[in-house]
Amino acid sequence: MTPEDYLNGQVLLIDKPLKWSSFQAVNKLKYTLINKLGLPKKFKIGHAGTLDPLATGLLIVCTGKFTKNISEIQGQAKEYTGTFCIGATTPSYDLETEINATFPTEQISDTLIQETVKQFLGEIDQKPPVFSAIKKDGVRLYEHARAGVAVEIASRKTVIHEFEITRIAMPEIDFRVVCSKGTYIRSLAYDFGLALQSGAHLTVLRRTKIGDYDVKNAVDVTLFEDSL
């Protein structure tokens, strides 16, 4: 592709590695396009939906005139796969923070797990994690959390279109979820643990689809330069 192609607009499907922030991934692409193809330093580039550093998978990056399509892409349903660890919680609902409480799991059967899934299908009320980038009083929630400041977080409506358990090997449960924009899979893990009268946190997360875009067609951000 020519520099003009990127300026006119491209949708780039990136497979984000573990521990990279979405911001870092976009910056890597921007640096590569400027230095390899000679694009102007102020050309437009942005991603259509943040992926946490502890998650891998599909990050859609738009360039040039296609950055106008970002909000439309963000609004599409997303598919995730991953793993819940049952019997323990963390303040961040994932592996960013240490375990803060443990719970019994003897009462949890495969049947109970499959029955509990049904509670989360359709429109649900969900509270975002305290360790999230949502702003409260002009400050991001994770900044409040790291400062030890307790804040009241309002729940919000979200939609779980599909929720499938793909493996049960207690304390691990693997899943596949298709959900609406704004769904926090970390919160789903936490709430799922509560519904089992136990606790849970997210240990693995991979975004596999956004609308019709599939991670199978994505390129690893570290290999993007080679693909030019």
Active site residues: 52
Q: How many Cβ atoms are within 10 Å of 2's Cβ, its own excluded?
A: 8
Tokens at residue 161, please? 């279109």
Contact 15, 71 (CB under 8 A): no
Residues paired with residue 167 on neighbouring β-strands, in sequence order? 174
User: Which spans in the chain are helix H?
Assistant: 3-8, 22-37, 70-74, 110-117, 141-146, 185-195, 224-227
The closest alpha carbon to 213, from 105, 60, 86, belongs to 60
Contact 201, 193 (CB under 8 A): yes
